[in-house]
Structures are given as C-alpha cells and as structure tokens.
C-alpha cells in the first residue's frame, strides 16, 4: 500500500503515473481501477477492498482524493489493503491530520509533496534541467521561477527548450480550462483545434481528458439543482461549487440537454476504460469526441 499526499499535485501525480506504469509492467495481467469523488460508489470500493477475482488477477487500485466522500470507508479498510496481495495507491491533496496518521501507520511507502519555497523551486528547476541535459542562463532561471508554483508550465517550458525552442512567457502559461470553456459553449471545432495545439506544445491527452471529465460531471450536478427549481446562487450555496463555476454551468445548460450530457458522460467513461485496456488510444478518442458535437447537434 502506497500513500502520496500534499498540495503539490504536479509532483504527486507525476509520481502516481510512474508508479502505476511500473506496477503494470510488473503485473501484465493485473486489473486497473481508479476511484474519484463523485464517480465512485461504496459498493464498488468494497469489492476492490475485498480483492476477490474469479480469474485470480491482481488489482492495481488508485484511490484519488476520496477522503472527503469515503474517508471513513478508506480508514476502515486500511488493514485489508495492507494484508492484500493487490497494490493500492492512496492519493490525497489535503487530507485531515487524523486520516494521515492512520494511513501512515499502515502504508508500506509514503511521500508528501508540499508546495516548493522559492529556494527549493530553484533547486527543482536546476535538477529538472540537469536531467534533460540543459544548461540554463541566469535570466532563464529567473523566468522559470517567476512562474511560481505552476510546475506544469515550468515542465512544459523545459521540454520545449529541450526541443530547441525559446523561453517566452505567453508560450508556457497553459490554460487548463480553455478547453472546457470551448466545450461548454459547444464550439467543437475550436475545442479540437485547442486540443491539438496543446498536444503539440507538450500537454498530455490525459491531462485534458480529466478537465473534460470534471466539466461534464459538474454540468450534470448543476443540472440536477436547476431542474429542482434552484437559481445559480442557490445552487452555489447547496452544491459548494464556486459561484462563477455555477454561473458558467447555467450558461452551458442552455446549449446542452441533460440527456446529451449523460450520453457524453458515458462516452468519456468508455473512452478512458478502453484506453486503459489497450483497445484504443486516448488521444485519438479525444479528437473524435471533440469533433463529434457542435452547437447545432443539441438534442432536445
């Protein structure tokens, strides 16, 4: 059982990806499961905690930030995970102190990623540059430090320099929600162009996939409140979502029907599952997905 936690989600998720890849390489027939807030159920979690499989396959299970919704259930099953032959990776951004203590007592390995201070950020940048065989001028280091905690932007800037590009601020400020904004307006072709542009600049398809996943999940949640008669401010209060997120969602719901969103949700789930099974490539499926809808395609 592994425990990765802390507010530096870039380094935490980078380690998570590396660990999952290593575990899958060592266990080619293992079944992979990923559980996230809002799309997981207690019943399914209990199934993977029991670790039973008719064909004897091992499990690789990622519990992605479940403390808010299933913290008690995770805590109750720490012994089962500890003693299981399966691999469990618990990822948390801001877990409660009590849960951290409980998990640390049982975890075989753990690592905490806190946000880097300016001094540590400089060391991290120099270490990443050295690993890529890059020599950075003082002004380039200062530029990268100026990006602050945006490690994704820094990583992408170093990747582009490795490929022979220069370091310019506007080129490396990845706008993670630019794609979902275009999606929410049903501007499918523009969303596809944005997706391809970011792929060319080094952003991974999976990174953008999870942004779309979040958007559709949010729209479905807000649709439920709206259908019950609540306005945007009441929805924000009930849901805990930020007001501007709810307002944007209300705007998006003028061009998406609930039936359409449910179909898109199912499609996203199938895309990710099939890519994990090796039946398709997520990048290709994302392109098809973005080109498959437009403002005119709304089904009432």
pTM of the model: 0.58
Helix runs in the chain, H state only: 9-26, 42-50, 67-76, 78-83, 97-106, 118-131, 138-146, 151-162, 169-172, 178-184, 188-200, 205-227, 232-239, 243-252, 258-276, 282-291
- Ranges of each domain in the chain: 2-112, 118-172, 178-297
Give the whole-angstrom CA distance, residue 277 versus residue 60. 13
Q: Tell me which architecture the domain covering 178-297 has in CATH.
A: Up-down Bundle (1.20)
Structure tokens at 26: 């060592």
Structural contact between residues 287 and 196, judged by C-beta atoms closer than 8 angstroms:
yes
Q: For residue 125, what pLDDT is reported? A: 94
Q: Are 134 and 158 in contact (CB under 8 A)?
A: yes
Mean pLDDT, each 10-residue run in order, the chain (300 residues) = 92 91 88 78 82 70 87 91 92 91 95 93 94 89 79 78 63 61 85 84 82 88 90 83 81 89 90 85 91 54
The pLDDT value given to residue 114: 92
Which residues, 6+ apart, have CB-to-CB distance to 44 below 8 Å?
35
Return the closest-CA partner of residue 268 out of 299, 248, 290.
290
CB-CB contact of 171 with 203 (8 Å): no
∠ CA 58-60-62, nearest 5°, is 155
Closest to 291 (Cα-Cα) out of 180, 215, 189, 195 = 189
Residue 40: CB partners within 8 Å, gap ≥ 6? 66, 69, 70
2-112 — its CATH code?
A: 3.40.50.300
Whether the CB-CB separation of 90 and 74 falls below 8 Å is answered with: yes
Give the tokens for residue 132: 């890529």
| Helix, coil or strand: residue 237 | helix
Q: What is the pLDDT of residue 51?
A: 67
The candidate with the shortest Cα–Cα distance to 241, out of 219, 268, 269, is: 219
CB 2 within 8 A of CB 88: yes
Q: How far apart are CA 48 and CA 34, in angstroms?
A: 10
């Amino acid at each position: 059982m592994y425990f990765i936690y802390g507010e530096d989600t870039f380094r935490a998720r980078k380690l998570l990806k590396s660990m999952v890849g290593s575990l899958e390489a060592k266990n080619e027939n293992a079944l992979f499961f990923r559980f996230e807030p809002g799309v997981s159920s207690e019943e399914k979690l209990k199934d993977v905690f029991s670790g039973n499989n008719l064909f004897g396959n091992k499990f690789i299970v990622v519990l992605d930030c479940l403390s808010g919704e299933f913290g008690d259930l995770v805590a109750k099953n720490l012994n089962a995970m500890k003693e299981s032959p399966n691999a469990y990776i618990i990822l948390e951004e801001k877990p409660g102190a009590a849960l951290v203590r409980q998990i640390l007592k049982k975890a075989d390995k753990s690592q905490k990623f806190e946000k880097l201070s300016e001094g540590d950020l400089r060391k991290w940048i120099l270490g990443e540059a050295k690993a890529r065989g890059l020599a950075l001028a003082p002004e380039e280091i200062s530029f990268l430090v100026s990006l602050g905690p945006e490690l994704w932007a820094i990583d992408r800037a170093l990747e582009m320099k490795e490929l022979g590009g220069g370091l310019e601020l506007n080129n490396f400020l990845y706008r993670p929600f630019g794609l979902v904004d275009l999606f929410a307006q049903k501007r499918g072709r523009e969303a596809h162009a944005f997706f391809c542009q970011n792929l060319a600049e080094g952003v991974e398809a999976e990174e953008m996939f999870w942004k779309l996943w979040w958007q559709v999940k949010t729209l479905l949640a807000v649709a439920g409140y709206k259908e019950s008669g609540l306005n945007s401010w009441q929805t924000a209060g009930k849901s805990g979502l930020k007001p501007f997120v709810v307002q944007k969602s209300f705007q998006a719901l003028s061009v998406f029907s609930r039936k359409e969103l449910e179909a898109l949700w199912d499609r996203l789930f199938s895309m990710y599952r099939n890519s994990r099974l090796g039946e398709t490539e997520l990048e290709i499926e994302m392109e098809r997905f973005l080109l498959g809808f437009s403002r005119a395609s709304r089904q009432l």
